[in-house]
Amino acid sequence: MKVSKIKLSAIASGVALGIASAASQAAQPPAFALTGPKTGAEIQIGGTLNNRASYQAVMPAADSFDIVATIKPESADVGKSGSLVVALEVEGLGTFNLLSGGIWVPLDLANIQAYKTKTLTASEDITILDNFIGTDTNLTGTTLKVYVAYYTDGDISNITYNTTAAAVAISTTPSGCPTGTTANSATYNGLPVCNLPVGDPITTDMHLTANNAYFFSGTVFVGNNTVNTPFADKVSLTIDPGVNIISEGGQSALVVSRGGKIFANGSPDKPIIMTSSQDDGSLDVLNARGLWGGVAINGSATQNTASGYAQGEGFTGEYGGGTSPNDSDNSGSMTYVQIRYAGYPITADDELNTISLHAVGSGTTLDYIHSHNGADDGIEFYGGTVNAKHILITGQDDDALDWTNGWTGNLQHVVIKHTTSGDNCIEADNLGANPIATPRSNPTISNLTCITSSTQKSSGHAFELKAGTAMQMYNSVVGGVIESTEGCILIAGDETFSQSGSSAATLNGTLKMERSYITTACAAALAGSGTFTTAEWFAAQAGTTSGSVDLGGPNGWTNGSLINAKTVTSGLGTFFDTVDHIGGVKDDTSDWTKGWSYDYD
């Protein structure tokens, strides 16, 4: 009984800290099937290590996590009096009902009690457990199961709840190398090193804990590469906050296949770091590049190749959904991750990027990722529907962002800074072999800052839009110095122009750069012409101007007062955060790159 009292006390204290509604964040918790009459409602529940940036079902024993929920009532219930109910089953202890003030009592199904009754809004956020740590509560190795419900107007007969419990497991305290890995005689940053398996795919779930660093030389494949593998059947690679993964050899890559999923979820104070084995403090942080292969994710979403399939560069495998794609395909989540010195040019036409996103679906979460000093592209999107937020790309050797094969996802909060090399902040294609292929590449991008450099390649640009691509860009900034022989913004390819309008006066809205701001020098170097000129296109963009771009701050990417005086475009869709500024970072206080990213300066 002594253990039970400790557990119950720990739960109560954790919840007492978390009754207040949670702030809205980028990712949504997993949604559950419902029991009850309110069939138009939605209940989402999940465990998060990083303030709702991502969710996962297994939590490290020694790391703080939250369990959160969102209730989206039926539209007819918004404005009514609603009672919110939370029940928590603790393995081996019992099931408890949350009351007002963070008090837990044993659940009595004949007398279910609400912890709060209020006027319902369209979305009710709940923090069920806050800053909960398994090792501090004697609950390691335990599974917590959560039910969330609501009913209206005091009538419990209309209660609606998640049919299946949301389960969050707390790992046991780790020791030694995880199952599926082998011991290495080396140490890294004072930790023992375990070897990841290369060559044959990982076919059982693997969990990389923070008591070790991890090494591989070769290609690690997570899961088999079966198209349209259901999410529940995918093999998972879970990487705990603070883990270091080191690699050597240009073609050494971590590949998440179509039958795999990755949960690489760091936290603001414990980012996951993937880097070269040479990254021991002696590397030239501005010029070292291409020391290992990087990360590739193969999905089953749509791309515009003739077959719907394609082969990944660097022998990373087939990707795409063929004639039956799954645009909501979920390959897991990567949040608060640094990837350093990756990417490798095998040949001029066969290159590994820091991150290659191969027909990845919109169910995948990418948030708070820093690519530093990659040898080819920072992130390349090969078709698919995946979205991303809070992306920092520094020191890229080629393009920071690249897309092709009909990518139609979203991006927000992006900072790109060229240093001693670099080609483009953005290089964009529809499909080189068939520029009118459908679906046409047409991502929506907001709050991007591109900083060009006098030392980037002479043929480089801020943006190179070609091979038939479309683009919806808003609230973005181009700063820095440009000395390109081909212009600052280049639109190229007859199909890029013709698919965007027959003239500057008849642009059809598929190629936009609205409410954005570029340097005077960039505006003087607009290149390319077809059915209209790039200069005519730029002049037609609503609210977009040029002038003195006052970027500053410790890293040179924080807005100054001139930028922050610009009017923004809002209402871009549910993915996008509402903002009151253009560019990637408004000010020092709100600088989302602080703390978790690689401070290479």
pLDDT tens digits, residue range 58-67?
A: 999 999 999 9
pLDDT exceeds 50 at position 569: yes
Residue 166 in domain: yes
506: Cβ contacts below 8 Å, ≥ 6 apart: none
Q: Quick one: pLDDT band at residue 347, thresholds 50, 70, 90?
A: confident
pLDDT exceeds 70 at position 439: yes
Question: Which residue bears the tokens 């080609």?
Answer: 423
Q: Sign of dihedral through CA atoms 3, 65, 30, 330?
A: negative
Residues 68 and 91 in one domain: yes
Tokens read off for 382: 């090969």
pLDDT exceeds 70 at position 567: yes
Residues 24-28, mean pLDDT to the nearest whole number: 63
Residue 448 in domain: yes
Q: Sign of dihedral through CA atoms 222, 223, 227, 228?
A: negative
Residue 575 in domain: no
Q: Give, rounded to a whole angstrom, the gap between the first and last alpha carbons of the chain.
A: 54
405 touches 432 (CB < 8 A): no
Residue 572 in domain: no
Question: How many residues appear in the chain?
Answer: 601
Question: Which residue bears the tokens 């479309």?
Answer: 470
193 touches 216 (CB < 8 A): no
Domain's final residue, options 131, 147, 170: 170
Residues 62 and 99 in one domain: yes
Virtual CA dihedral for 281, 282, 285, 288, nearest 10 degrees?
-130
Question: Which residue bears the tokens 């209209």?
Answer: 532
Distance of CA 335 to the CA centre of its chain: 6
Residue 480 in domain: yes
Exposed (0-12), middle (13-18) or buried (19+): which is 500, by Cβ within 10 Å? Answer: buried
Q: In whole angstroms, what is the distance from residue 191 CA to residue 47 CA?
A: 28
Q: In whole angstroms, what is the distance from residue 201 CA to residue 203 CA?
A: 6
CATH number at residue 25: 2.60.40
Q: Quick one: pLDDT band at residue 27, thresholds 50, 70, 90?
A: confident
Residues 340 and 478 in one domain: yes
pLDDT of residue 1: 18
Residue ranges of E strands in 418-487: 424-428, 444-452, 461-465, 471-474, 477-480
Residue 574 in domain: no
pLDDT in tens, 462-509: 999 999 999 999 999 999 998 889 999 999 999 999 999 999 999 999
Residues 187 and 166 in one domain: no
DSSP code string of 483-502: --SS-SEEE-SHHHHHTTBS
Residues 165 and 186 in one domain: no
Residue 406 in domain: yes
- Give φ, ψ of 276 to 5 degrees: -80, 150
Residues 120 and 261 in one domain: no
Residues 257 and 405 in one domain: yes
- Tell me which long-range contacts 174-183 makes (C-beta under 8 A, separation of at least 24): 174/61, 174/209, 174/210, 174/211, 175/211, 177/212, 178/206, 178/207, 178/208, 178/209, 178/212, 179/204, 179/206, 179/207, 180/204, 180/206, 181/206, 181/208, 181/212, 181/214
pLDDT exceeds 50 at position 6: no
pLDDT exceeds 80 at position 8: no
**Best CA proximity match to 227, nearest among 254, 260, 263, 262:** 260
Q: Sign of dihedral through CA atoms 25, 31, 34, 37?
A: positive
- Give φ, ψ of 76 to 5 degrees: -70, -15
Question: Which residue bears the tokens 């954790």?
Answer: 14
Residues 58 and 136 in one domain: yes
Residues 343 and 370 in one domain: yes
Residues 48-74, mean pLDDT to the nearest whole number: 96
Tokens read off for 257: 């296949």
- pLDDT mean across residues, the chain: 94
pLDDT in tens, 305-336: 999 999 999 999 999 999 999 999 999 999 99
240 touches 264 (CB < 8 A): no
Domain residue limits at 136:
2-170
Domain's final residue, options 124, 139, 170: 170
Residue 594 in domain: no
- Residue 230 Cα distances to 233, 296, 301, 326, angstroms: 5, 19, 13, 10
Residues 251 and 311 in one domain: yes
pLDDT of residue 26: 56
Residues 327 and 398 in one domain: yes
Candidate from 14-18, 183-187, 593-597 with smallest mean pLDDT: 14-18
Residues 443-449, mean pLDDT to the nearest whole number: 98
Domain's final residue, options 118, 139, 170: 170
**Best CA proximity match to 427, nearest among 460, 391, 474:** 460
Exposed (0-12), middle (13-18) or buried (19+): which is 593, by Cβ within 10 Å? Answer: buried
Number of domains in the chain: 2
pLDDT of residue 249: 86
pLDDT of residue 18: 37
Tokens read off for 253: 């890559």
Beta-bridged to residue 146, according to DSSP, are 88, 166
Q: In whole angstroms, what is the distance from residue 540 CA to residue 533 CA?
A: 11
pLDDT in tens, 270-300: 999 999 999 999 999 999 999 999 999 999 9
Q: Quick one: pLDDT band at residue 53, thresholds 50, 70, 90?
A: very high
**Per-position b or e across 554-591, b if 16+ CB within 10 A of its CB:** ebebbbbeebbebebbeebeebbeebebbbbbbeeeeb
Residues 81 and 145 in one domain: yes
pLDDT in tens, 123-148: 999 999 999 999 998 999 999 999 99
